[in-house]
Amino acid sequence: MRRRRGPRSAYDRVVVVGAGRAGVAAAEELRRAGFRGEVRVLGDEPSAPYDRPACSKGLLTGHRRPSDVRMPVLDGAEIDWHLGRRAVHLDPDARIVTTDTGERFGYDGLVIATGARTALPRDWPVGEPGLHTLRTLADAWALRGALRDAQRVVVIGAGLTGCEVASAVRTLARDCVLVDSSPYVLGRAVGETVGRLVTREVARDGVQLRLGRRVTGLNRRRRGWLVELDDGDELLADLVVTTTGERPDVDWLDGTGIDISDGVRCDESLRVLGVEGVVAAGTVARWPNLRYSARPRRCAQWIAALQQGRAAAHTLLAGDREVPPVTVVPRFWSDQYGLRIQVCGELPEHAEVMVTELRPGRRDVARAGVLVGYHDDGRLVGLVAVNAPHAFTSITRSMLATTTVTVPAPAAAPVTATAAVPAAAPAARRLAEAS
């Protein structure tokens, strides 16, 4: 018999629950690390793994088809795919995952990467024709078909997904109304400064904005929908798309003893607290990202999910051995209304904000190019760029090269240690002077 190669591991069978970006990354990384045991991936959708951010982009406008957004998987990885199976129960003592098909999957090591699910008010008529959510590939394709005959669309929620949907609707020459309780769009994603600048461009594109308003009623009519707002205004629409929020997909972990109060509670290396042989990654994981804070939080971004999935695989294979903390830098981008929006790092409310206009004097600041840096104690911790891709890339290289770890002190406030590399703040100032 040939001896197995690769790292010594106590595991022969690893089950990955979740076939999104984090789950696939974890399965691939197990093979890259030399793990030769069984790797089984359970996915609740019947389709092959795909690029979820594409659901609110090219799929809606018809520029891309479902086959165009499939996620490439490592060649020769020898992964056993079990798609169309939703995990409904975990027995951590027996180490068994049960699915809605009644199948039981035993494991030695487990990766939880179930992501999040759409969260809607209980009194909304979910399932009625013309009311759409946008979470899965099937959701996106159904909405694409419905948009063909629609003339007026109401989008509830002006976050990243909601604004991308509204942009796609306008690209198709449909009337669009965007509703959100915030006074500006993209507030959580890009901060107030850029949010207000982008709001002007959204309105200039022809989207009818109902900002600072909440939906109080959603009623199906003989033809279309009636959306009632808290100021008494009523909106008529052929279609309603809600992108109001999501919650971690953790119901199947109820009763396991795992802290699932806001996702799956993990340590700094993504080990799930309270159980053995289990790690978590992606949107569902709540862990202390010591690059920024010792407070456990979730990060719902594609690049972070990729990095967490890979890191979780190494943590799992390490067993009880000490591994480095997982310190990812949140990053994402979006193209909408002719704007290239890019974000790197965190955007704390208490940070000092520095705005750099690439073409000072232009009234359309966002379209002309702008950089907004967020500084905390003199350190650049977040950067938002609009139509400034080259400057964004240059500065983020410095941000990514800066290694920062926040170590929880036993009695007082956290102590921050930063590697001796050039800080990104001077780069932002040089850019401001050059422009």
Q: Are residues 77 and 173 in the same domain?
A: no
Contacts of 63 (CB under 8 A, 6+ apart): none
Please state the rounded mean pLDDT for residues 66-94.
94
First to last CA, the chain: 67
Token output for 121: 């008010």
Q: Is residue 122 part of a domain?
A: no
> According to the model, what pLDDT value does residue 406 have?
54
- Report yes or no on 424 lying in a domain: yes
- Residue 230 corresponds to which tokens in the numbers above? 């808290």
Residue 402: give the domain boundaries: 338-434
- When computed from its CA atoms, the radius of gyration of the chain, rounded to whole angstroms, is 23
One domain, residues 110 and 254: yes
**Same domain as 271, residue 230:** no
Same domain membership, residue 270 and residue 240: no
Amino acid present at 367:
R
Asked if the structure places residue 324 within a domain, the reply is no
> Looking at 211, 244, 277, which one is the last position of a domain?
244
Q: Are residues 254 and 302 in the same domain?
A: yes
Same domain assignment for residues 312 and 354: no
The whole-number pLDDT of residue 123 equals 86
List the CATH number of the domain containing 387.
Answer: 3.30.390
Residue 283 domain flag: yes
Whether residues 396 and 377 share a domain: the answer is yes
Per-residue tokens: 11: 């595991």
Among candidate residues 214, 244, 274, the one where a domain is terminated: 244
Residue 2 lies in a domain: no
What's the pLDDT band for 117 if we cut at 50, 70, 90? Answer: very high
**Domain check: are 59 and 107 in the same one?**
yes
Whether 102 is covered by a domain: the verdict is: yes
Residue 92 included in any domain: yes
pTM equals 0.89
In a shared domain, residues 361 and 428: yes
Does residue 252 share a domain with residue 236? no
- In this model, does residue 418 exceed pLDDT 70? no
**What pLDDT shows up at residue 383?**
97
* 180 and 88 within one domain: no
CATH of the domain at 194: 3.50.50.60
Instruction: Mark whether 252 and 232 lie in a shared domain.
Output: no
Q: Does 94 reside within a domain?
A: yes
Per residue, the 3-state secondary structure of 390-416, as one string, reads HHHHHHHHHHHHCCEEEECCCCCCCEE
Q: What is the pLDDT of residues 346-379, one digit of tens each?
A: 999 999 999 999 999 999 999 999 999 999 988 9
Domain count, the chain: 3
